[in-house]
Structure 1
Amino acid sequence: MSASFLFFLGITFFVLHEIDAVRCKEWHIFPGLSQLSDLWGKRIFLLAHIPIGYFIFWQLTASESPEIFKTGFDVFLLIHLVAHLVYLKHVKNQFKDWISWTFIVGAGICGLFDLIF
């Protein structure tokens, strides 16, 4: 199994998590965004993902050091998993079902194994 397989599977889990994050209204958990109305929280949450997505695609296709980015993104996936575990008991956390946790944990595991292998 190649490291690229694990890396891209991790990105896939992360993208699915971000889609699920809209369903689960993840902006309710973030300081600042949680103070906004649902409409504005969702708008800002979605619009914030434009530069994030662009940055990921640019790093993988146009940067001079995609391997450094891949390592950093693997670490991010692990930190992201830990953050979700920390916020598990947050009153407005809606990531409670198996599908949400498949995406969150799947991304973290792929990041870990990609770092190891």
Structure 2
Amino acid sequence: MAKLGLLETDTLYPELLPDYGSYGRMFARFFSELDRDLRYRYYQVQEGELPHRPDECDAFLITGSKAGVYDNLPWIAPLQSWIRDFHKRGAKIIGICFGHQIVAHSLGGHAAKSGSGWGLGVHR
């Protein structure tokens, strides 16, 4: 059985908790529709919880967040170090929204706050 590590980088707004639970639980519900045998391990990144070994899970997914990779929050630098370390050690890392930005940023890419606010889709 495969195990997916869900690195939760935020909490939902209180009014969304009864219906959705958490970012990680939303991904687990989605993936469970595709593979009922997939197992999950949750990590609360904002509380300093990160996987210790790449073999804890078959792959790791970093969720979205209201934070930006450019924010000076105490949990962001440790997450960036974790990404670089686990990437070097061959771990499979997936990023969604904030997650893909922090993976790119940690591995030498650049993410910046848009002057025109939030956006979705292809922009030129």
Q: Which has the higher contact order (CA 8 A, sep 6+)?
A: 1
TM-score with structure 2 setting the length: 0.30
TM-score with structure 1 setting the length: 0.31
Q: Which protein is richer in strand relative to its size?
A: 2
Q: Which protein is richer in helix relative to its size?
A: 1
